[in-house]
Amino acid sequence: MATRDVFSADELAQLRGFPEVGRAELIRFFMLTPGDEEFVRRFRDKRNVLGAAVQLCTLPWLGFVPEDVPAAPAAAVARLSERLGIPVGELRGYGAREQTRSDHLRDVAAYLGWRQVDGPAVEGPGGVPVRAGDGARLGEAAVPAGVRVPVIVPPGPPRRGEDPRARRDRAGPGAG
């Protein structure tokens, strides 16, 4: 039985989108370090800077970035908007060109130190590599049976007492 036969269209949409964000998650995941800010400011215009910042914070939070980046939780976008000095409304047009969103996600994953390992590349929506388990979690039959899926591996846990954000600052913009 395919996953799409188990979930309704509404349930699939909910699984593929942004969940509500709690206060603790806002503090933990939606805080930009100076290195993060330098990294996202290299994107061309304000809309792209804010969109890349949302992706940068969402990937570690959820383990993937929902396709509709402008639908990110308002509290999270407001926090990033304030830090970057960019109006919240700038995010509205982000990702209108699918290639922009997927290119930014590749850059963000590399910056965060996520790497692709194992087997041939299997591309998901927008050309983004599919992680093992994404099909099940997102309710998609994205990978044909018998195809080995590359795994996008996040970096290991921080050393005892190390602030996980300090690693990104040491790596610098574009590191990966």
Distance CA 97, CA 55 (A): 15
59 C-beta neighbours (distance < 10 Å), count: 20
Q: Is residue 88 part of a domain?
A: yes
Query: In the prediction, which pLDDT does 166 show?
Result: 62
Instruction: With 0.85 as the threshold, say if the pTM is over it.
Output: no
pLDDT tens, residue by residue, 120-136: 555 555 555 555 444 43
Query: In the prediction, which pLDDT does 155 show?
Result: 64
Angle between the N-to-C axes of helices 98-111 and 46-62, in degrees from 0 to 180, rounded to the nearest 10: 60
Distance CA 165, CA 62 (A): 17
Domain that holds residue 151: 3-170
Structure token pair of residue 143? 């990978």
**Mean pLDDT across 66-84:** 95
Q: Is residue 61 part of a domain?
A: yes
Q: Is residue 41 part of a domain?
A: yes
Distance CA 149, CA 142 (A): 10
Q: Is residue 71 part of a domain?
A: yes
Q: Is residue 32 part of a domain?
A: yes
pLDDT tens, residue by residue, 36-68: 999 999 998 999 999 999 999 999 999 889 989
Q: Is residue 175 part of a domain?
A: no
Backbone conformation region of residue 161, classed left if phi is above 0, alpha if psi is from -120 to 50, else beta: left
pLDDT tens, residue by residue, 84-108: 999 999 999 898 888 888 899 989 9
Q: Is residue 176 part of a domain?
A: no
How many domains in the chain?
1
Distance CA 128, CA 100 (A): 12
